[in-house]
Structure 1
Amino acid sequence: MDGKPGLRELKKQRTHAAISDAAIALFLEHGFNQVSVAQVAEAAEVSKRTLFAYFPTKEDLVVHRLADHETEIARIVRARPARTAPLTAVREHFLEGLRERDPITGLNDHPQVRRVHRMILDAPSLVARMERFKAGAERALAQALQETADTPELTARLAAVQIVAVHWALAQDNAERLAYGESADVRYAGAVADAELAFALLENGLRDLTSQR
């Protein structure tokens, strides 16, 4: 065994990619709500039954491209260097993502990435599906905090909700700006400043909001 996928697995990968590519092309051309699953299946030259075997819902045809990112923050926490605080690791990873124009930070203005973000924002069912994605990220991070930082269950859960929400809000702000015309280079300095402020608020426990003038 050389570790390479067999012919059956390669065929499955090609079918998966063909369905995904056909779906995204149709959605971007006509709109997510205007394209049926039957049309996607026809364009990919597969049956509806085969399509649903790979993608259980229409929304999964889009969201699956982000699937690897659902547990990304948890993976960063688990893989952080010794004596590095979880929040520090997440902050540095997000800032690195901004520098590299990682689409998950919202700071990527490649035409197709921009169009996909705008499509998600304009489709309520996709927005709802992304909320499930967000909830999965919270659960994974809470578990990582408990297992690697000896964090009590409630503390880990509350921390995960806040960290994921901040990550999410920052990315959404960037994506919305770029989806409607702003370039990644123009947005970069503001995105970094917003991220620094957001993580500082997390680190300080929002104490500035309770201080008296």
Structure 2
Amino acid sequence: MASSCRGKWSPAAPPWTACAACRKPLSEPPSPSPPFMKKIVFRVNYHTVPGQSLWVRISVKIGDLAFDHLLPMRCISGTQWQTEWETGWSTSAGFLLFTYRYVFRQEGNGVELEEWGGPRMIGAFEDAVVALDTWCSAGTVDHAYETKAFDAVIKPRVTGSVESRGNHDFQLRMAAVPEGSVVCLLGNAEELGGWDPARALVMTEAAPNLWKVRVGMAPGRDVEY
């Protein structure tokens, strides 16, 4: 039986071999073939000033083991931060859950803040994925509707499942959508309706106040939406 611990891993101790904190092996041995490396690019919109930095905290759960990894991000423009992470895991190791969230740090006074709300999740993907995010702040107007003060006056809506086919996921957090209304996606690509409102893609409320749609689009082109 696998041990129950929580620690950080390093590239020298991939999560499918052993926990870097206690060095105890997982319940199942890794595949004898080399692991297939997958690349994840994290990019988030957030305006900072000198002395401030952003990080991304990655959490992976494999069976009874949980691993956290904190990656520094680099500023690539006045309002965007980015970092990359390459990882590999074996399906025989029982990969279960991969989540992440962004962290703000202020030099000098030790302030460290995680973005508001629950962790973000990336599902299964082939070899690479780019996560384009915006910092989730508790001060955003829509997020005020998700506080306990509004629980008694906003009725919960019925959520649905998202189409599984496609290679681009679009999601939007939007609360207090009027009854009988839905959120739609429209863009310059033909797959996104070609800016024709009559061809807009209807999004699904996959979780309370979280709207999603999955679209199949060819890579290597600029998309506006």
TM-score, L = length of structure 1: 0.23
**Structure 1 or 2: more helix by fraction:** 1
TM-score, L = length of structure 2: 0.22
Q: Which protein has greater RCO, CA pairs closer than 8 Å, 6+ apart?
A: 1
